């Protein structure tokens, strides 16, 4: 979030890794990474009460720090121009957007806005096209749909757009959830590393030195042994699991969550009964399907040799540490 609180960036996709690049008064920039593909996203808000030239200088200062060729710039400029909207008149003078237009032309930024789109800003007193989306020439080749969604929930209509052509490698698989013991181990190793190299921080005088030190501690954290384990395959391996069990499991979990969230005594009792019924049904389905699958296995094994594994299990000729101690069927053991 920008220091003024007017520009905010939120990432909801856990597969997108985020690295903050700049947090200014009215401009914020971060790097979004998916595998080896990365995009620098710059978000800004230009208050109408402040000089436009001053706001553009702040945005230009942030863009000067970025060396990437994949840069996306989006925000509320509070100025209109025929570059990103139709040529209509409102209370904003047309030449007020001159500094921003000069910046766009100087950096050869491509405008993603559709001039024929609905207004991005609309109130009872008027409407205008003041929200703008820009990108570098290389990133503009990956532009997808750019749409303004008219709504009455806010004076600014939401804008959605798609960046196509992700050419990077797929993101690495997750390491899974770390146990408290592993988290404590990571914390201790990072603390030891920090105390060992903390005196070097006092000698840092440039941004390049600071970035190198941050990369150093980042690589150290990634090299810790708890992260260098192969992720476990959590998929179910039982042959009797099917979609009906998956649906029933989701239904049971949903009813359990509704039951735990309820605080009204009478309603909580009804929800508890509904949850218990579905939970019992879920357990019954698991038991029924697993038994049916095991019966089929026994039939296949005894078809060729009646004294194979099922007989040895039933006769207890296998140590008691095995999974089953007896085989029962509906017509007898």
**More confident of the two residues 81 and 139:** 139
CATH number for domain 17-169, candidates 3.30.450.90, 3.40.50.620, 3.60.10.10, 3.40.50.1260: 3.60.10.10
For residue 44, is it left (φ>0), alpha (ψ between -120 and 50) or beta?
beta
- For residue 239, give Cα distances in angstroms to 235, 236, 279, 313: 12, 9, 21, 21
* Calpha distance 143→138 (Å, rounded): 10
pTM of the model: 0.48
Among residues 75, 17, 18, which one has the least CA distance to residue 45? 75
Phi–psi pair at 318, nearest 5 degrees: -115, 145
CB-based contact 255:275 (threshold 8 Å): yes
Which two tokens mark 157? 């209509």
The model's pLDDT over 61-105, given as tens digits with 9 standing for 90+, comes to 999 988 888 999 999 888 878 777 776 665 555 556 678 888 888
pLDDT tens digit sequence for 257-288: 999 988 898 999 999 999 999 999 999 999 99
The pLDDT of residue 203 is 84
Say what the pLDDT of residue 277 is: 95
Residue 171 has what pLDDT? Answer: 46
Burial state string for 51-83 with b = 16 or more CB within 10 A and e = fewer than 16: ebeebbeebbebbeebeeebbbbbbbbbbbbeb
Contact 221, 213 (CB under 8 A): no
For residues 229 and 253, give the distance between their C-alpha atoms in angstroms, rounded to a whole number.
30
**Please, which residues have CB within 8 angstroms of residue 109's CB and are 6 or more apart in sequence?**
73, 103, 134, 135, 136
Q: What is the pLDDT of residue 323?
A: 47
Tell me what pLDDT residue 169 has.
46
């Amino acid at each position: 979030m920008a220091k003024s609180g007017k520009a905010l960036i939120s990432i909801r996709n856990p597969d997108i890794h985020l690295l903050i690049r700049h947090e200014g008064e009215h401009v914020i920039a971060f790097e979004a990474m998916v595998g080896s593909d990365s995009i620098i996203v710059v978000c800004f808000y230009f208050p109408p009460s402040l000089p436009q030239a001053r706001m553009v200088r702040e945005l230009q200062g942030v863009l000067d720090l970025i060396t990437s060729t994949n840069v996306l710039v989006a925000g509320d400029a509070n100025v209109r121009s025929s570059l990103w909207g139709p040529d209509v008149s409102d209370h904003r003078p047309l030449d007020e957007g001159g500094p921003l237009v000069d910046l766009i032309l100087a950096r050869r930024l491509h405008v993603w806005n559709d001039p024929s789109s609905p207004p991005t800003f609309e109130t009872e007193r008027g409407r205008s096209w003041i929200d703008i989306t820009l990108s570098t020439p290389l990133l503009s080749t990956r532009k997808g749909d750019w749409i303004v969604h008219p709504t009455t929930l806010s004076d600014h209509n939401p804008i959605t757009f798609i960046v196509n052509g992700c050419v990077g490698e797929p993101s690495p698989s997750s390491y899974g959830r770390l146990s408290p013991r592993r988290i404590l181990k990571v914390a201790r190793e990072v603390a030891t590393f920090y105390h060992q190299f903390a005196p070097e921080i006092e000698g840092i005088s440039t941004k390049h030195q600071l970035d190198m030190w941050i990369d150093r501690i980042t690589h150290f954290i990634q090299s810790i042994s708890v992260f260098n384990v192969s992720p476990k395959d959590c998929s179910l391996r039982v042959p009797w699991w099917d979609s009906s069990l998956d649906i029933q499991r989701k239904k049971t979990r949903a009813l359990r969550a509704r039951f735990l969230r309820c605080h009204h005594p009478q309603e909580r009792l009804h929800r508890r009964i509904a949850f218990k019924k579905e939970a019992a049904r879920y357990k019954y389905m698991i038991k029924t399907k697993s038994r049916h699958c095991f019966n089929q296995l026994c039939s296949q094994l005894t078809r060729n040799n009646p004294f194979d594994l099922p007989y040895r299990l039933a006769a207890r000729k296998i140590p008691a540490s095995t999974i089953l101690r007896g085989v029962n069927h509906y017509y007898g053991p």
